[in-house]
Amino acid sequence: METTYLIWAFSLGAISAGSMVLGSIVGIYLPMSNSRVGAMCGFGAGALFSALALELVSPTVAGLALSEGHERAEAMEHFIILLIALVVGGMIFVTIDQIISNHGGYLRKGAYVIAQHTSNKSRRRDELIRSITNSSFFGNLPPDLIRDLVTKLHPRFLVENEVLFDRGDSSNEFYIVRDGSLKISHADGGNHTAERGDLVGEISFLSHGAHSAQAVAQHGTVELLVLHKRQYEELSKDHPELVSAVKAMAAKRIEENLHQIDRTYVQKQDWANIAIEALTTGGAEIPSSSDVKAMHGEHSNAGMAIWLGNLLDVIPEGFVVGTVMLAIVIKASAAGAVLGFMDVIPVTLVGALFLANFPEALAASVNMKQQGFSPKRIISLWVLLTIICAIVSALGAYLGEEIPHSYLIFVEGIAAGAMLTMIGSAMLPEAAHLSTPNVAGFSTLLGFVSAIGFKLFE
């Protein structure tokens, strides 16, 4: 193979994986909201679905559909090889991924964290009960209420300086601080700190109004337990004492706020009267997970396992880029075309991988930072991963020219099976967890459509 083609394949692999470096920088220095990261994961998953179907699966399927006569036997053989390879690729991915996850690699994706937590659900429930009963608010609640409550609570994790809610945001849930602290900033310039065991947002929640303050995570990661409106109403029917306790806490908070009255005393008093009235006449979600810090502590090598897990994702991506580029080169050369770098870019595949790698690296970098990795080391590891992807891409182009077509179909099928398994096991669950099912679904559709749209530029 000409050296020029190898350089081109190397460059395309670097471009495909280069968004990981960008994602790591954003994850370290400019944390994005969970909802936006979830939407991006869905978008990337949809783009990958489309790219893999168009670039790896459809050529073999089309070859079978259009074959006739003696060519059909060979096309059938290629089709069967593809099906077997897809399954083998998925099995290989699951096996290696499980090994890495057992050493802490599951921490690289929120969806994996949830799965790991589920496997320890009983132990975690007892731990959660002990945790919240130590707080001043829950310590006086009946044990049966506590047991029912923990089944309704869901976790939300914030990185340092991430905004939980802002002034004017609607309120359909209230929060319990389980770990870390939140800075609550009021419109008048006053502020206070919500710490372990404190309720946050209960006044706006019960009065059915917008938040009048801003809540921001401070001094590192914050874990919250969230109770959505629907779960609150369900609990209220069986445990009216919960309603009384929350209202009492909200009223106490209002009284505390009134002690800080300044020139706007009258305005504050009017607002307080309205809020208290709503509390006395009114009636009413974040996904229970394990303590992420405790999970990290169980795996001293989890940081590198996180990185190795993403390496597992990247190797098949790079190989596919190289082999698909080679196919373009062979087809164009057979037609006698003079090729330039822009002529051999599989735009659909490279674009989809670029879009998919960004949110993956962003979420993983946040976890690596929590593991104690320095920003410089995190970024260096993603740069190294990008270089590895580029090398694997060049290797794919080189080997693709040396091995028979049926063997190439098998190797590409293994890569596609591994990537499709990764999408189903990680990217889509991550999208649904971090955003909402509808946002995840629609963003996946947009990614699928966008990848198809890349065909216009090929």
pLDDT score for 250: 65
pLDDT classification of 287: cutoffs 50, 70, 90: very low
CA distance 197 to 135: 5
CA distance 444 to 39: 8
In a domain, 126, yes or no: no
Name the CA dihedral angle for 313, 315, 318, 323, rounded to a multiple of 10 degrees.
-120
Residue 267 and residue 142 share a domain: yes
CA distance 393 to 423: 20
pLDDT classification of 286: cutoffs 50, 70, 90: very low
pLDDT score for 209: 76
Residue ranges of alpha helices (H) inside 335-436 are 347-370, 375-402, 405-422, 428-434
pLDDT score for 71: 87
Name the CA dihedral angle for 377, 379, 385, 386, rounded to a multiple of 10 degrees.
-150
Mean pLDDT throughout 109-121? 52
pLDDT classification of 253: cutoffs 50, 70, 90: low
pLDDT classification of 162: cutoffs 50, 70, 90: confident
Give CA separation, 187 vs 14, 140, 246, 253, 348, in Å: 48, 32, 23, 16, 48
Highest mean pLDDT among 78-82, 206-210, 275-279: 78-82
In a domain, 138, yes or no: yes
Residue 257 and residue 141 share a domain: yes
54 φ, ψ (degrees, to nearest 5): -75, -40
Domain edge (last residue) among 261, 289, 317: 289
What percentage of the chain exceeds 90 in pLDDT?
A: 14
Does residue 280 have a pLDDT over 50?
no
pLDDT classification of 134: cutoffs 50, 70, 90: low
Domain edge (last residue) among 234, 257, 289: 289
In a domain, 124, yes or no: no
Q: How many domains does the chain have?
A: 2
Residue 345 and residue 325 share a domain: yes
In a domain, 61, yes or no: yes
332-365 confidence digits (pLDDT tens): 887 787 888 888 888 888 988 888 888 778 877 8
Does residue 165 have a pLDDT over 90?
no
pLDDT score for 82: 93
Does this model's pTM top 0.75? My answer is: no
In a domain, 375, yes or no: yes
Give CA separation, 133 vs 130, 138, 178, 420, in Å: 5, 5, 11, 43
Residue 336 and residue 450 share a domain: yes
Question: In a 3-state reduction of DSSP, which class is residue 66?
Answer: helix
Question: In a 3-state reduction of DSSP, which class is residue 436?
Answer: coil
Mean pLDDT throughout 289-316? 57
Residue the block writes with tokens 């929640």: 205
Domain edge (last residue) among 258, 289, 320: 289
Residue 145 and residue 247 share a domain: yes
Residue 277 and residue 232 share a domain: yes
In a domain, 451, yes or no: yes
Instruction: Give the list of residues 6+ apart from residue 192 with CB closer than 8 angstroms, or none.
Output: 184
pLDDT score for 291: 45
Give CA separation, 348 vs 39, 215, 447, in Å: 20, 41, 11
Residue 230 and residue 143 share a domain: yes
Q: Which of the 8 DSSP states describes residue 454? A: G
Count CB atoms within 10 A of the CB of residue 289: 22
Residue 159 and residue 81 share a domain: no
In a domain, 181, yes or no: yes
Residue 274 and residue 143 share a domain: yes
Residue 229 and residue 267 share a domain: yes
Name the CA dihedral angle for 14, 15, 16, 18, rounded to a multiple of 10 degrees.
80
Residue 39 and residue 12 share a domain: yes
CATH of residue 176's domain is 2.60.120.10
Least confident of 42-51, 90-99, 278-287: 278-287
439-448 confidence digits (pLDDT tens): 989 999 998 9
Count CB atoms within 10 A of the CB of residue 444: 26
Mean pLDDT throughout 98-119? 56
Query: Is residue 35 a contact partner of residue 439, using CB atoms and an 8 Å limit?
Result: yes
Residue 186 and residue 98 share a domain: no
In a domain, 295, yes or no: no
Domain containing 204 equals: 134-289
Least confident of 15-19, 117-121, 126-130, 389-393: 117-121
